[in-house]
Amino acid sequence: MWRSRARVRGQLVPLPDPVEVSGGRERFRREDIVEWLQRTGRGNNAEANLDAPALSVPDDVPLDVLVTWLCLAALAGEELAETTPEQCAALARSVDPDDRMLLREIQTSKPAACTLRFIDDLVEASYGLGEALDRLDQSRAARAVGARDLTSDAIDLVHAVADACALHLDPGG
């Protein structure tokens, strides 16, 4: 739509050119789009410059890796971008000393700096960790996975069963 309406207040301000086409979708440089939105006043989000980093999922990083690092950021309550691998392992050890869910994954992962920066930006731009996870679930990384383990109907069913159990099972056992 914006490509076909390149005039803004009488001036020609064309949408920036894509840097690549991947899977039939044009991909743009984040900085170009943010600058274009600010220059033209277009878009529904006046704070696009603040949200854009959280929408720029790093290339070739699987969703499960991003979720793992989001879990560490959530549990540790720390920003990750400036941490060393040793510091990340220490954080993971402090929140999961018995390796019940996270420690081994953090110790074996070798994320690029842009991945950790993305996680920090995602947490910063989100209204809580639930929204951060929802943003990941709607990201390019999630679309690359395709079909997920549970459909929304299956999740609703699990919620219904859990609610029924909470209401009808004897609290004493």
**Tell me: the pLDDT tens digits for 39-85?**
888 877 777 777 776 678 888 899 999 999 999 999 999 999 999 99
Q: Do the domain assignments include residue 150?
A: yes
Helices (H), 41-112: 48-55, 63-76, 85-95, 103-108
From residue 30, alpha-carbon distances to 53, 127, 134 in Å are 8, 21, 21
What is the total count of domains within the chain?
A: 2
- 95 and 165 fall within a common domain: yes
Tokens 């099972």 -> residue: 169
Position 165 pLDDT exceeds 90: no
Position 32 pLDDT exceeds 60: yes
How many helices, marked H, and strands, marked E, lie in the chain?
Answer: 9, 4
Q: Do the domain assignments include residue 112?
A: yes
- 70 and 147 fall within a common domain: yes
Q: Do the domain assignments include residue 116?
A: yes
> Would you say 6 and 15 are in contact if contact means Cβ atoms under 8 Å apart?
yes
What range does the domain containing 87 cover? 58-173
| pTM of the full structure | 0.68
Position 173 pLDDT exceeds 70: no
Q: Do the domain assignments include residue 77?
A: yes
92 backbone dihedrals φ, ψ, rounded to 5°: -65, -40
Q: Do the domain assignments include residue 49?
A: no
pLDDT score at 149: 66
- 27 and 70 fall within a common domain: no
d(CA 85, CA 91): 10
Closest residue by Cα to residue 65 from 15, 18, 108, 128: 108
